[in-house]
Chain A
Amino acid sequence: MASQNRPLSPHLQVYKPQLTSVLSITHRATGIALAAGTLLLVCWLLAAATGESAFADVQAFNASWIGKLLLFGWSYALFYHMCNGIRHLFWDAGKGLELETAYMTGRLVVAASIVLTVGVWVWAYASMGAF
C-alpha cells in the first residue's frame, strides 16, 4: 500500500538533540524500563506469597551487585518518569508550554529526579542501620 512509504515524523537524524527532545525520548525509555521492572516486583510478591526460601532467593538477588544496579536504575527511572509525567500533566492542562518554561521545567525534572534517587538510597541504607 502507498501509505507504507509515507514519510514519518519526526526525522530524528536531521535534528540536533535538544534538552526537550532528549527528555522526551527519555520519558519513553524510562517507561519501557519500568514496565520491565514490574517483573521484579511481581517475583518479589509471588516469592513472599510462596514461602520463606523463595523470598530469600529474591532478597539475595536484590542484594547482589546486579540486583542493586537494576534497583538503582529502576529507582532513577521511576523518579524521572514521575517528575516528567507531572510536567506532562501540566502540559495537558495547557500550562508551561512556552519554550523558556519548558526548558526550565526540564532542568527541574532532571535535578529533582537525581535528588530523589540519591535521597531514597540514603534513606534505605539508613533504615538498615548502615550509618
Chain B
Amino acid sequence: MSLRSPLGKVRGLGSAKEGVAHWWAQRMTAVALVPLLIWFVASICVMTGADYDAFRDWIATPLVSVLLVLLAIAVFHHAQLGLQVVIEDYVHAEWLKIASIALVKFAAIGLAVATVFSIVKIALG
C-alpha cells in the first residue's frame, strides 16, 4: 500500500501551464514571418546574380540589416518551437526526447547568433 496521497501521485504529471505561451509564440512568429519572408524572397530574386560587393552593400543597408535580424530571430524561434512539438509527438523515450529538444534549442540559439553576428559584422564593415 502506498502512503502517497492521490494528489501527490499526479503532481507534476499534468499541464505545466506553459502550453499557451508556446502555442501563442508559434502563431505570433508565424504572423511576423509572412511579410518578412515575402520581402526576403523578393529581395533574393532581385539580388540573384549580384556579386560579393553588391551583396554586402545590400546587407549593410540599415533597413535591410534590421529586417534580416528580425527575420533571423523569428525564423529560429518559430523553427525550434515547431521542432519541439514534432519531437514531443514522435519521440517517446523520455531521455531521448529531452536530449533531442535540448539539441534543437542549442542549435537554434547557435545558428541565430551566427546569423545575427554575420549581419552586424557586414553592416558595421
* Residues of A near any B CB (own CB < 8 A): 4, 28, 31-32, 34-35, 38-39, 41-42, 45-46, 48-49, 52, 55-56, 75, 78, 82, 85-86, 88-89, 92, 120, 123-125, 127-129
The 4 closest A-B pairs by CB, nearest first: A128-B49, A49-B118, A45-B118, A124-B48
B interface with A by C-beta (< 8 Å)? 27, 30-31, 33-34, 37, 41, 44-49, 52, 55-56, 59, 68, 75-76, 79, 82-83, 86, 92, 111, 114-115, 117-119, 121-122
Instruction: Judge whether A128 and B111 touch: CB under 8 Å.
Output: no
- Looking at chain A's contact residues, the main secondary structure is helix
In the complex the two chains form, is B46's CB within 8 Å of A127's CB? Answer: yes
Return the chain A residue nearest B44 by Cβ.
A124
Contacting residues, chain B, for A34 (C-beta < 8 A): 79
CA of A98 to CA of B51, assembled, Å: 50
Are A52 and B86 in contact, CB atoms less than 8 angstroms apart? no
Main secondary structure of the interface of B (DSSP, over half): helix
A49's partner among B44, B47, B121 (CB-CB below 8 A) is B121
New contact pairs (4) apart from A82-B37, A85-B30, A128-B48, CB-CB < 8 Å: A38-B111, A82-B34, A92-B27, A124-B45
Q: How far is the CA of A46 from the CA of B59 in the complex (A)?
A: 12
Q: Which residue of A lies closest to B48 (CB)?
A: A124
Expressed in whole angstroms, the Cα–Cα distance for A32 and B122 within the complex equals: 29
Known A-B contacts A31-B82, A38-B111; A55 and B55 likewise in contact (beta carbons under 8 Å) = yes
Among A35, A52, A78, A88, the residue within 8 A (CB) of B37 is A78
Residue from A35, A86, A89 having most chain B Cβ neighbours under 10 A: A35
B52 touches A31 (CB 8 A): no
Q: Give the residue name and chain of the B residue nearest to A52 (CB).
A: B52
* Shortest beta-carbon distance from A96 to chain B in Å: 16
Shortest C-beta distance, A52 to chain B (Å), equals 5
Bound complex: CA of A97 vs CA of B53, how far in Å? 49
Contacts of B117 in A (CB 8 A): 49
Q: Are A28 and B86 in contact (CB under 8 A)?
A: yes
Q: CA separation between A120 and B46, bound complex, in Å?
A: 10
Q: How far is the CA of A1 from the CA of B45 in the complex (A)?
A: 54
With a cutoff of 8 Å between Cβ atoms, the chain B residues found around residue A46 in the complex are: 114-115, 118
Q: Do residues A35 and B30 form an inter-chain contact, with CB atoms below 8 A?
A: no
Q: Tell whether, in the assembled complex, residue B27 and residue A4 are in contact, meaning their CB atoms are under 8 Å apart.
A: no
